Amino acid sequence: MEIGMILVATVIILCILAEKFSGKFGMPALLLFMMIGMFFGSDGFVKIPFDNYDMAEKFCTVSLCFIMFYGGFNTKFKTAKPVALKAVLLSTVGVVITALVTALLCVFVLKYSWQEGFLIGAVLSSTDAASVFAILRRKKLNLKDGTASLLEIESGSNDPVAFLMTVLGIGMLTGGVNIHAFSLIIKQLLFGISIGIFMAFLVIYTLQKTRLVSDGLDTIYMIGMLLCCFAVSQILGGNAFLSVYLMGIIVGNARIRNKMILVSFFDGLTGLAQIFIFFLLGLLAFPHRFADILIPALVIMLILTLVARPIAVFLILKPFGCSVRQCLFVSFAGLRGAASIVFSIMVIANGVDLSYDLFHIVFLVSLFSVAMQGTLLPLAAKKLHMTDDNADVRKTFNDYQEESAITMMRMYIPKGHEWEKRMIKEVCMPTGSLALMIKRGKETLIPKGDTKILAKDQLILSVPSYEPEEQEKLTEIRIEKEHAWCNKRIEELHLTNHTLIALIIRKEQNLIPDGKTIIMEGDIVVTYEEEGT
């Protein structure tokens, strides 16, 4: 057991180092994860024997579930809204066109049967969210015309359609497709969409309107609901990938508490899922088989990159008035990766008899795609003049926080405050601050110099933002009933000369305290402390 733990730790550390130095190697980190997997595999140096496709399918499906959820959860819909229709068409109609064109050319060029051609077209029809997200962020590709959002929504939402087509392809080769195929599609979409939306609003209601989830357990709750959403959708015959993606995008764009904590947590968890899935796929591969399927894999790669994907993109984007440059770039950015390989594993796990080695062909196609397209994507953006120095790809994600030279502060004026019954121009406000409005009961006033401040007013101020230096520390302390400060005036506390209570957050009010202010149960006290003095 100890040896196994050391092995797992070694793999994780190697993959983290690979991600850190991938830029210096000039290739995407995901490619390195696959290579590390092959290094540990049966044909590699460590020679770990592993060919269990059933186990690999289960583990990869769960990992892909988290990747799909986070793809939706971290997509800022406000930024993506202008390109949402185009992206959805690419992720649905575009996937079907790509699959059919690929299937047709595989039948005529590689002489596959039409059922086998359809299956390989379906498996390879979707672009890979993990690859696209990683390269856009890692390479900081700031693109024109909302192209980053377009690619993010498309790659995050096209797996469900590819999955559905793969299921149909499996049915064609096993005799499982009949007149009920159409009802299967409707059932997958209906239950997939309904369950995803229902679970999303259940999560939002729980986090917004109730206190059922204690602080600190939000991440655990979200994992539970995510797995529940996926499992319920599968049990009822829905498209589980569609369910978790919809749940992610709805919850991620709602106002819920501790959202940034959730984003950071799932960012790390998804990173681990990507490491695991690409390593496991590399571990499952047998490189000695590559020579036999190298030519078919290269032909299919060229069909996808130069014919099928461009046809789908131009047919969908040109009617919207998109430029040829944008269409070419979106075509080139159609990376294949983990999702396609997982679907190929699913085919093998279902016992489908094929005349070709599906897993290793799809593996090589994905390897070539991530290596060539992923590496050349920044160069393609530059050559096609698709980069925009005024854009920021980080703004398309929910974990982006806008930098600002000012911040907003709500200041509550209690009875007896020194500003009570004084005009705005008479009070000494912080340097650089400005009174933007006064909330008085149900009224909102735009203050002028002679506006009088009354007790119970809420003063909204804009104040210059401040970044603490290394020796300065801001700490939030939640005051429970048993806390030593509870129900005491600030002047009664034994604070050091270098500690100051800067702010008290009481429900929705921000209080600027003085020595007479009483600290109450439920308050969040913000202390400022200068260390090392």
- Is 369:297 a contact under the CB 8 Å cutoff? no
For the stretch 45-70, pLDDT in tens is: 777 777 777 888 888 888 888 888 88
Q: Which residue, among 239, 126, 253, has the nearest Cα to 193 in the 3D structure?
A: 239
In angstroms, rounded to a whole number, what is the distance separating the alpha carbons of residues 302 and 170? 24
CA angle 159, 273, 63 (to 5 degrees): 45
pLDDT at 402: 43
CATH number of 471-533: 3.30.70.1450
Among the ranges given (57-61, 70-74, 213-217, 501-505), the one the predictor scored with the smallest mean pLDDT = 213-217
Q: Which residue, among 121, 125, 116, has the nearest Cα to 103 in the 3D structure?
A: 121
Question: Which DSSP state fits 397?
Answer: B
CATH number of 2-388: 1.20.1530.20
* pLDDT for residue 30 is more than 70: no
> How confident is residue 19, by pLDDT bands cut at 50, 70 and 90?
low
pLDDT at 395: 52
Question: For the chain, where do the domains classified as CATH 1.20.1530.20 start and end?
Answer: 2-388
Give all strands (DSSP E) within 18-136, no chain letters: none
* pLDDT for residue 405 is more than 60: no
pLDDT at 24: 55
Tokens representing 353?
């008899």
CA dihedral (448, 454, 460, 464) in degrees, to 10, reads 80
Average the pLDDT over 391-396 and give the result: 51
CATH number of 405-466: 3.30.70.1450
Model-level pTM? 0.68
Question: For the chain, where do the domains classified as CATH 3.30.70.1450 start and end?
Answer: 405-466, 471-533
Name, in order, each residue with C-beta under 8 angstroms of 268's C-beta and a sequence gap of 6 or more. Answer: none
